[in-house]
Amino acid sequence: MDQRLADLLALLELEQLEVNLFRGASRDIGAPQVFGGQVLGQALSAAAATVEGRVVHSLHAYFLRRGDCNAPIVYQVDRSLDGHSFANRRVVAIQHGQQIFNMAASFQATEAGFDHQIDMPPVPPPEGLADSSGPPAELLARLPERARRLFEQPRPFEFRMVQRIDYLRPQPAAPERQIWFRAVDALGDDEMLHRRLLAYVSDFFLLDTATLPHGTSFLRPGLVMASIDHAMWFHRALRVDDWLLYAMESPSASGARGFARASVFARDGRLVASAAQEGLVRSRKDS
Protein backbone atom coordinates (compact mmCIF):
# COMPACT_ATOMS: atom_id res chain seq x y z
CA MET A 1 0.00 0.00 0.00
CA ASP A 2 1.10 3.57 -0.69
CA GLN A 3 2.92 4.83 2.41
CA ARG A 4 0.86 8.03 2.60
CA LEU A 5 -2.34 6.04 2.89
CA ALA A 6 -0.81 3.49 5.24
CA ASP A 7 0.25 6.34 7.55
CA LEU A 8 -3.31 7.71 7.58
CA LEU A 9 -4.78 4.31 8.39
CA ALA A 10 -2.31 3.99 11.27
CA LEU A 11 -3.30 7.47 12.49
CA LEU A 12 -6.97 6.49 12.63
CA GLU A 13 -6.24 3.34 14.65
CA LEU A 14 -6.51 4.03 18.37
CA GLU A 15 -4.98 2.48 21.46
CA GLN A 16 -7.62 1.20 23.89
CA LEU A 17 -6.75 2.37 27.41
CA GLU A 18 -9.83 1.07 29.23
CA VAL A 19 -13.44 0.21 28.48
CA ASN A 20 -14.83 3.14 26.42
CA LEU A 21 -11.49 5.00 26.64
CA PHE A 22 -9.07 5.36 23.70
CA ARG A 23 -5.95 7.31 22.79
CA GLY A 24 -4.87 8.55 19.36
CA ALA A 25 -1.68 10.13 18.08
CA SER A 26 -1.61 13.63 16.59
CA ARG A 27 -0.15 14.57 13.24
CA ASP A 28 1.35 17.92 12.22
CA ILE A 29 0.26 18.65 8.64
CA GLY A 30 1.61 22.20 8.66
CA ALA A 31 -1.49 23.86 10.09
CA PRO A 32 -1.33 25.79 13.40
CA GLN A 33 -3.52 23.15 15.07
CA VAL A 34 -4.54 19.52 14.69
CA PHE A 35 -6.41 19.01 11.40
CA GLY A 36 -10.14 18.78 12.10
CA GLY A 37 -10.53 15.78 9.81
CA GLN A 38 -8.07 13.84 11.97
CA VAL A 39 -10.17 14.41 15.10
CA LEU A 40 -13.37 13.53 13.21
CA GLY A 41 -11.88 10.31 11.89
CA GLN A 42 -10.39 9.28 15.22
CA ALA A 43 -13.56 10.06 17.15
CA LEU A 44 -15.52 7.97 14.68
CA SER A 45 -12.99 5.15 15.15
CA ALA A 46 -13.50 5.34 18.92
CA ALA A 47 -17.29 5.24 18.59
CA ALA A 48 -17.21 2.39 16.06
CA ALA A 49 -14.99 0.31 18.32
CA THR A 50 -17.90 0.07 20.77
CA VAL A 51 -20.57 -0.91 18.21
CA GLU A 52 -21.23 -4.29 16.57
CA GLY A 53 -23.43 -5.19 13.59
CA ARG A 54 -24.20 -1.59 12.64
CA VAL A 55 -22.57 1.08 10.48
CA VAL A 56 -22.50 4.84 11.06
CA HIS A 57 -25.19 6.80 9.21
CA SER A 58 -24.77 10.26 10.76
CA LEU A 59 -22.55 12.34 13.01
CA HIS A 60 -22.75 15.80 14.53
CA ALA A 61 -19.59 17.34 15.99
CA TYR A 62 -18.33 20.55 17.59
CA PHE A 63 -14.75 21.81 17.63
CA LEU A 64 -14.28 23.48 21.01
CA ARG A 65 -10.56 24.28 21.26
CA ARG A 66 -7.51 24.05 19.02
CA GLY A 67 -5.83 20.68 19.15
CA ASP A 68 -2.13 20.45 20.01
CA CYS A 69 -0.18 18.64 17.27
CA ASN A 70 2.49 17.65 19.79
CA ALA A 71 0.25 15.77 22.22
CA PRO A 72 -1.94 12.67 21.95
CA ILE A 73 -5.73 12.93 22.17
CA VAL A 74 -7.85 10.86 24.55
CA TYR A 75 -11.34 9.85 23.39
CA GLN A 76 -14.03 8.97 25.93
CA VAL A 77 -17.09 7.15 24.57
CA ASP A 78 -20.53 7.16 26.17
CA ARG A 79 -22.76 4.27 25.04
CA SER A 80 -25.98 6.28 24.93
CA LEU A 81 -28.14 3.67 23.19
CA ASP A 82 -28.00 0.09 21.95
CA GLY A 83 -31.40 -0.49 20.39
CA HIS A 84 -32.83 -3.07 18.01
CA SER A 85 -31.87 -1.17 14.82
CA PHE A 86 -29.88 1.82 16.05
CA ALA A 87 -26.97 2.54 18.36
CA ASN A 88 -25.94 6.01 19.52
CA ARG A 89 -22.60 7.11 20.90
CA ARG A 90 -21.29 10.34 22.37
CA VAL A 91 -17.54 10.97 22.13
CA VAL A 92 -15.49 13.59 23.97
CA ALA A 93 -11.91 14.34 22.86
CA ILE A 94 -9.56 15.55 25.60
CA GLN A 95 -6.12 17.15 25.54
CA HIS A 96 -4.24 18.67 28.49
CA GLY A 97 -7.26 18.06 30.73
CA GLN A 98 -9.70 20.01 28.55
CA GLN A 99 -12.35 19.06 26.04
CA ILE A 100 -11.28 20.07 22.53
CA PHE A 101 -14.10 18.35 20.62
CA ASN A 102 -17.32 16.44 21.12
CA MET A 103 -19.45 14.36 18.77
CA ALA A 104 -22.66 12.37 18.66
CA ALA A 105 -22.83 9.53 16.13
CA SER A 106 -25.68 7.19 15.18
CA PHE A 107 -25.22 3.67 13.82
CA GLN A 108 -27.85 1.54 12.06
CA ALA A 109 -28.26 -2.07 11.09
CA THR A 110 -28.72 -2.54 7.33
CA GLU A 111 -32.36 -2.47 6.23
CA ALA A 112 -34.37 -1.67 3.08
CA GLY A 113 -36.71 1.29 2.59
CA PHE A 114 -37.76 4.09 0.24
CA ASP A 115 -35.02 5.24 -2.13
CA HIS A 116 -34.64 8.52 -4.04
CA GLN A 117 -31.93 11.13 -4.51
CA ILE A 118 -30.99 14.36 -6.28
CA ASP A 119 -28.97 14.24 -9.51
CA MET A 120 -25.23 14.68 -9.65
CA PRO A 121 -24.29 18.04 -11.22
CA PRO A 122 -22.94 17.89 -14.79
CA VAL A 123 -19.15 18.22 -14.44
CA PRO A 124 -16.16 17.02 -16.46
CA PRO A 125 -14.85 13.57 -15.50
CA PRO A 126 -11.73 13.53 -13.30
CA GLU A 127 -9.57 12.18 -16.14
CA GLY A 128 -10.09 15.47 -18.01
CA LEU A 129 -8.93 17.66 -15.12
CA ALA A 130 -5.48 18.56 -13.85
CA ASP A 131 -4.16 17.01 -10.65
CA SER A 132 -4.81 19.54 -7.86
CA SER A 133 -3.21 17.60 -5.04
CA GLY A 134 -0.54 20.28 -4.72
CA PRO A 135 -0.05 23.81 -6.07
CA PRO A 136 2.11 24.44 -9.15
CA ALA A 137 5.80 24.93 -8.43
CA GLU A 138 5.67 28.62 -9.33
CA LEU A 139 2.85 29.19 -6.85
CA LEU A 140 4.53 27.12 -4.16
CA ALA A 141 7.62 29.34 -4.37
CA ARG A 142 5.50 32.43 -3.63
CA LEU A 143 3.72 31.03 -0.60
CA PRO A 144 4.61 32.07 2.97
CA GLU A 145 6.62 29.44 4.87
CA ARG A 146 3.67 28.20 6.96
CA ALA A 147 1.43 27.82 3.92
CA ARG A 148 4.22 26.19 1.91
CA ARG A 149 4.74 23.61 4.65
CA LEU A 150 1.01 22.86 4.62
CA PHE A 151 0.90 22.33 0.86
CA GLU A 152 4.11 20.32 0.78
CA GLN A 153 2.78 17.66 3.16
CA PRO A 154 2.26 14.33 1.34
CA ARG A 155 -1.48 13.72 1.09
CA PRO A 156 -3.17 10.32 1.11
CA PHE A 157 -5.80 11.64 -1.33
CA GLU A 158 -5.57 13.09 -4.80
CA PHE A 159 -7.79 16.00 -5.80
CA ARG A 160 -8.98 17.35 -9.15
CA MET A 161 -10.76 20.71 -9.07
CA VAL A 162 -13.50 21.51 -11.56
CA GLN A 163 -12.95 25.24 -10.90
CA ARG A 164 -9.33 26.32 -10.51
CA ILE A 165 -8.68 28.78 -7.68
CA ASP A 166 -5.77 31.20 -7.29
CA TYR A 167 -5.36 31.39 -3.52
CA LEU A 168 -2.83 34.25 -3.76
CA ARG A 169 -4.94 36.43 -6.08
CA PRO A 170 -8.53 35.33 -5.39
CA GLN A 171 -11.36 36.98 -7.28
CA PRO A 172 -15.02 37.14 -6.20
CA ALA A 173 -16.88 34.08 -7.49
CA ALA A 174 -20.13 32.23 -6.97
CA PRO A 175 -20.17 30.38 -3.62
CA GLU A 176 -19.97 26.91 -5.09
CA ARG A 177 -17.33 24.48 -6.32
CA GLN A 178 -16.89 20.82 -7.22
CA ILE A 179 -13.82 18.70 -6.55
CA TRP A 180 -13.15 15.07 -7.45
CA PHE A 181 -11.09 13.11 -4.93
CA ARG A 182 -9.99 9.54 -4.15
CA ALA A 183 -7.49 7.72 -1.96
CA VAL A 184 -4.06 7.25 -3.53
CA ASP A 185 -4.23 3.45 -3.30
CA ALA A 186 -6.71 0.57 -3.16
CA LEU A 187 -8.43 -0.34 0.11
CA GLY A 188 -10.35 -3.33 1.37
CA ASP A 189 -14.12 -3.73 1.49
CA ASP A 190 -14.74 -2.65 5.10
CA GLU A 191 -17.60 -0.12 4.78
CA MET A 192 -16.81 1.43 8.16
CA LEU A 193 -13.22 2.09 7.05
CA HIS A 194 -14.40 3.95 3.95
CA ARG A 195 -16.78 6.06 6.03
CA ARG A 196 -14.06 6.94 8.54
CA LEU A 197 -11.80 8.03 5.69
CA LEU A 198 -14.59 10.08 4.13
CA ALA A 199 -15.09 11.85 7.47
CA TYR A 200 -11.36 12.66 7.47
CA VAL A 201 -11.23 14.07 3.95
CA SER A 202 -14.57 15.92 4.22
CA ASP A 203 -12.85 18.66 6.23
CA PHE A 204 -10.77 19.70 3.20
CA PHE A 205 -12.11 22.68 1.18
CA LEU A 206 -15.61 22.83 2.71
CA LEU A 207 -15.36 26.00 4.81
CA ASP A 208 -13.22 27.68 2.11
CA THR A 209 -16.35 27.75 -0.06
CA ALA A 210 -17.77 30.48 2.19
CA THR A 211 -14.93 32.83 1.19
CA LEU A 212 -15.47 32.60 -2.57
CA PRO A 213 -17.91 35.53 -3.01
CA HIS A 214 -15.59 37.81 -1.03
CA GLY A 215 -12.42 37.55 -3.13
CA THR A 216 -10.28 36.30 -0.26
CA SER A 217 -8.70 33.05 0.90
CA PHE A 218 -7.22 31.43 3.99
CA LEU A 219 -3.76 32.59 2.80
CA ARG A 220 -4.66 36.27 3.16
CA PRO A 221 -2.98 37.90 6.19
CA GLY A 222 -5.50 38.91 8.81
CA LEU A 223 -8.18 36.40 7.82
CA VAL A 224 -9.15 34.05 10.67
CA MET A 225 -10.86 30.76 9.78
CA ALA A 226 -11.70 27.92 12.13
CA SER A 227 -14.27 25.12 12.11
CA ILE A 228 -17.05 25.43 14.68
CA ASP A 229 -19.09 22.36 13.86
CA HIS A 230 -19.29 19.56 11.31
CA ALA A 231 -22.13 17.21 10.41
CA MET A 232 -22.31 14.24 8.05
CA TRP A 233 -24.95 11.84 6.80
CA PHE A 234 -23.98 8.61 5.05
CA HIS A 235 -26.71 7.57 2.60
CA ARG A 236 -25.33 4.63 0.61
CA ALA A 237 -22.35 2.31 0.42
CA LEU A 238 -19.24 4.10 -0.79
CA ARG A 239 -15.60 3.62 -1.69
CA VAL A 240 -13.03 6.35 -1.13
CA ASP A 241 -10.52 4.51 -3.33
CA ASP A 242 -12.70 5.30 -6.36
CA TRP A 243 -13.45 8.82 -7.58
CA LEU A 244 -15.99 10.76 -5.50
CA LEU A 245 -17.35 14.20 -6.38
CA TYR A 246 -17.51 16.75 -3.56
CA ALA A 247 -20.17 19.28 -4.69
CA MET A 248 -20.04 22.20 -2.24
CA GLU A 249 -22.02 25.41 -1.83
CA SER A 250 -22.20 28.19 0.73
CA PRO A 251 -25.75 29.52 1.12
CA SER A 252 -24.81 32.11 3.74
CA ALA A 253 -22.12 34.03 5.58
CA SER A 254 -23.07 36.36 8.43
CA GLY A 255 -22.12 37.27 11.98
CA ALA A 256 -18.44 36.38 11.35
CA ARG A 257 -19.53 32.83 10.49
CA GLY A 258 -19.55 31.04 7.16
CA PHE A 259 -21.85 28.14 6.40
CA ALA A 260 -21.24 25.50 3.73
CA ARG A 261 -22.92 22.25 2.77
CA ALA A 262 -22.01 19.53 0.32
CA SER A 263 -23.20 16.45 -1.51
CA VAL A 264 -20.83 13.56 -2.15
CA PHE A 265 -21.50 11.54 -5.31
CA ALA A 266 -19.96 8.28 -6.47
CA ARG A 267 -18.61 8.07 -10.00
CA ASP A 268 -21.86 6.34 -11.13
CA GLY A 269 -23.99 9.26 -9.89
CA ARG A 270 -25.17 7.75 -6.59
CA LEU A 271 -25.49 10.24 -3.73
CA VAL A 272 -23.43 8.51 -1.04
CA ALA A 273 -23.15 11.20 1.64
CA SER A 274 -23.93 14.78 2.64
CA ALA A 275 -21.95 17.18 4.83
CA ALA A 276 -22.43 20.59 6.43
CA GLN A 277 -20.10 22.88 8.32
CA GLU A 278 -20.17 26.27 10.00
CA GLY A 279 -16.97 28.06 10.85
CA LEU A 280 -15.49 31.28 12.07
CA VAL A 281 -14.61 33.59 9.13
CA ARG A 282 -13.52 37.07 10.16
CA SER A 283 -10.72 39.61 9.89
CA ARG A 284 -8.37 40.10 12.81
CA LYS A 285 -9.30 43.17 14.80
CA ASP A 286 -5.65 44.35 14.74
CA SER A 287 -5.22 43.93 10.95
Spans of all domains in the chain: 3-109+130-283
The catalytic residue among 26, 178, 217, 227 is: 227
| pLDDT value of position 284 | 76
Backbone angles phi, psi at 105, to 5 degrees: -135, 140
CATH 2.40.50.140 assigned to domain 3-109+130-283? The reply is no
Indicate if the pLDDT at residue 285 is higher than 70: no
Question: pLDDT digits over 41-61, tens only?
Answer: 999 999 999 999 999 999 999
Under 8 Å between Cβ of 241 and 197: no
Across the range 29-51, mean pLDDT stands at 92
Report the alpha-carbon distance of residue 138 to residue 48 in Å, rounded.
Answer: 43
Across the range 188-196, mean pLDDT stands at 97
Across the range 154-174, mean pLDDT stands at 88
Return the top range by mean pLDDT from 33-37, 106-110, 282-286.
106-110
The catalytic residue among 45, 178, 203, 263 is: 203
Burial of 246 by CB count in 10 Å (0-12 exposed, 13-18 middle, 19+ buried)?
buried
List, in sequence order, the alpha helices (H) in 61-142: 137-140
Please tell me the pTM assigned to this model. 0.93
Question: pLDDT digits over 193-219, tens only?
Answer: 999 999 999 999 999 999 999 988 877
Q: Which residues contact 77 (CB under 8 A, 6 or more apart)?
A: 20, 21, 22, 46, 47, 49, 50, 89, 90, 91
The catalytic residue among 26, 95, 274, 277 is: 277
| pLDDT value of position 152 | 72
Report the alpha-carbon distance of residue 125 to residue 90 in Å, rounded.
Answer: 39
Of the candidates 122, 287, 274, the one whose C-alpha atom is nearest the C-alpha of residue 202 is: 274
Question: pLDDT digits over 126-147, tens only?
Answer: 999 988 776 666 666 766 666 6
The yes-or-no answer on residue 227 being catalytic is yes
Question: pLDDT digits over 89-106, tens only?
Answer: 999 999 999 999 999 999
The yes-or-no answer on residue 119 being catalytic is no
Q: What is the mean pLDDT of the chain?
A: 92
